[in-house]
Amino acid sequence: MSARVARSYVDALGVERSASPETVARFEALVSEAPHPFVAPVRVLREHEPLTLDVTLPAASWDASLRWVLTREDGTVGDGALPLRDAPVVAADHRADGTWDTRRVALCGPLPLGPHELALDAPGVARAHVHLIVVPVRAVAPHGRQWGIALQLYTLRSERNDGIGDFADLRTVCRLLGERGAGYVGINPLHAPFRTDPEAASPYAASSRLWLNWLAIAVDDVPEASAPAVRKLRSRRRERATELRATHMVDYTGVAEHKDALLRCCFRALPRSPERLAAFEAWCVAQGERLRRFAVFEAFVARLGRDVRGWPAHLRSPELPDVARFASIAAVAHEARFAMYLQWLAAEQLAAVAADAAAHGVHLYRDLAVGVDANAADVWVDQAAYVEGVSVGAPPDVLNTLGQDWGLPPLDPRGIAREGYADLLALLRANCRDAGALRIDHAFSLARLYWIPRDAGPRDGTYVSYPLDDLRGIVALAGVREHCVIIGEDLGTVPDGFRERMEATGILSYRILFFERWLDGTFVPPEHYPALALAASGTHDLPTIPAWLRGEDIELRHALQLLETPLDAARAERERDRAMFLDTLVAHGDLDPHERHDEIAVVVAANRYLAAAPCAIVMAQLDDILGEHEPVNVPGTSTQYPNWRRKLATDLAALPADPRLTRLCTTLTAIRPRATP
């Protein structure tokens, strides 16, 4: 496997751009690999494919034998020996020290899905260890033509939560929508945030993609919350909880302080229940070293701050000997154990929600962000998996003519392959777990990422390629192991052949109504959408349909000085698009001409339009049908706009009788009735 650095590329504006020689040289040095190894350290095979390998040895060793020992995932062992003279030469390299032949050796028949280990020995010549991983040809197939509703979990209001939507609220929504015929409930990424910096609220720049967001824990569902001390504390904090629920925006600092106090009290009560304590201990053991390192990081951040670069040098890597000594300090160890407790509660509640939802015919549709913050737990825990001094982003496009720097460190294409993609597979499985579908944000990262030197601007970056054939197989394996459908978010400049190769693996494409246009700007009819796709009426990065119809997003971007075109021109273009959109819905028979000015009728019509498509899954947006106008996120902003904070105006208790939601669910169920399992 090798990564390639693009000397030039074509951006979303159709402009060919050349990368500077300095950038190319810098990136090539970061991803270079030793030439002509005896054997590649990792081999990805498709199921039913026999085990073959290419080995490179001096031509003079043609009369040697290659011995091999195979340890399968289940622990069984096989071995054998192969005379090299029986293996065909597929390449020859004439070097100063002689000729080196690359021979293709066939060792055994197909292996079961999953990771295996292979030891090779050419006596007196070379030895090596190879990580094998057998992946499925196809990912999990969707069942029938289903529909669902996507929401931002933190936006949910209820009379019982602590100022932020939580797993108990999610259970309520899943039950309601499952009873209305939905197959999926989509949610924002549940990635672990920075507990000491609650205002860093973006789920797309989290501390860990492997672990969960503790703020989603429903305190009243924690068994330890029934302890007298916890009940007493909750009683004293009742007014504070009421205040936090009443805010228009999530008060992350207030919510974190409030829930931290309650959950620490629950933690102190844990030893009172031997059965619960034993279950906690067993879970921690099962999670192993990954959980321990994450918890130690959380404890270190609480003492040393969020900027890892500001930590003492002897604590900046979990491999350093002083880390264990510092982690053994009583207060630090206690804080790490509390971090484990929070993860246990979150995992416990998420699994319970998923099981309850499935009983009501609905599955969670989860979201995996493209990366984590540069100071994230994931980066500290597994530094070899990330590239230092580089961030990822996007080259110039229509919305961002200067390009984008997301500030996230890229995964190292060499680092993720070590250990047979074990850590990547664990990450993917963790996000597929307790879900019926997983959306991979910016799925182009499986094929290429736009790297930017940390000391340069977005225009100074270029693309670095990743081993797509390996990675799409790893993604498919994670989905198969967790019985989860995979959706690859493929919006933007699509690499050549990307969609075709993803489709060949059974990974769904991601199609957004407002982006599906013919070259003349008209909307693509639903019958032309691909079957192997998820179609949605919006995303977290787009304005709600009610706001779009009024052009409020244009006014907001103008106010934030983000509008790239003159305001009057943008308004005129939107009016043309709006008329075209409404005309399309009317012509397709989804919107009554008399309801062109009824925003909710337009929302229902837009989703009815999509529901007619052959796509496997169609997702509506809860914000749309509830008439929300403020966006949850404005791309290109950080502190200029309160992203990831706005709550829904409608309380959960009102949803069962809400005629808007009833109308949408009835419409979608009529077109896409739930398939019989």
Q: Where are the alpha helices (DSSP H) in 544-593?
A: 545-550, 552-559, 567-587
Distance CA 168, CA 265 (A): 20
Sheet holding 184-186, edge to edge: 485-488, 437-440, 363-368, 184-186, 146-150, 617-621, 533-536, 509-512
Distance CA 224, CA 185 (A): 29
Distance CA 608, CA 610 (A): 5
Distance CA 396, CA 325 (A): 47
pLDDT for 10 equals: 87
**Residue 661 amino acid letter:** L
> Could you tell me the sign of the dihedral formed by the alpha carbons of 508, 509, 513, 518, in that order?
negative
pLDDT for 221 equals: 98
Distance CA 332, CA 326 (A): 7
pLDDT for 354 equals: 98
Predicted TM-score (pTM) of this structure: 0.95
Cβ pair 202, 370 in contact under 8 A: no
The 3 state secondary structure assigned to 331-384 is HHHHHHHHHHHHHHHHHHHHHHHHHHHHHCCCEEEEEECCCECCCCHHHHHCHH
Question: Which CATH code for domain 48-135?
Answer: 2.60.40
How many C-beta atoms surround the C-beta of residue 281 within 10 A? 12
Cβ pair 616, 145 in contact under 8 A: yes
- For residue 336, CA distances in Å to 167, 200, 297, 321, 372 come to 23, 21, 8, 18, 21
Pairing relation of β-strands 533-536 and 617-621?
Answer: parallel
**Residue 557 amino acid letter:** R
pLDDT for 38 equals: 92
Pairing relation of β-strands 462-465 and 448-453?
Answer: antiparallel
3-class DSSP assignment, residue 620 = strand
26-64: pLDDT as tens digits? 999 999 887 778 999 999 999 999 999 999 999 888 888
Nearest CA-CA partner of 105 in 119, 91, 88: 88
> Six-digit token pair at 369?
């962000």
Distance CA 536, CA 611 (A): 9
> Could you tell me the sign of the dihedral formed by the alpha carbons of 573, 490, 534, 416, in that order?
negative
* Mean pLDDT for back-to-back runs of 10 residues, the chain (677 residues): 79 85 94 84 96 92 92 96 92 86 94 97 92 98 96 98 98 98 98 97 96 98 98 97 98 98 98 98 97 97 95 94 94 97 98 98 98 96 94 79 86 91 97 98 95 91 96 98 98 91 98 96 97 97 97 96 92 97 98 97 98 98 98 90 97 98 98 83
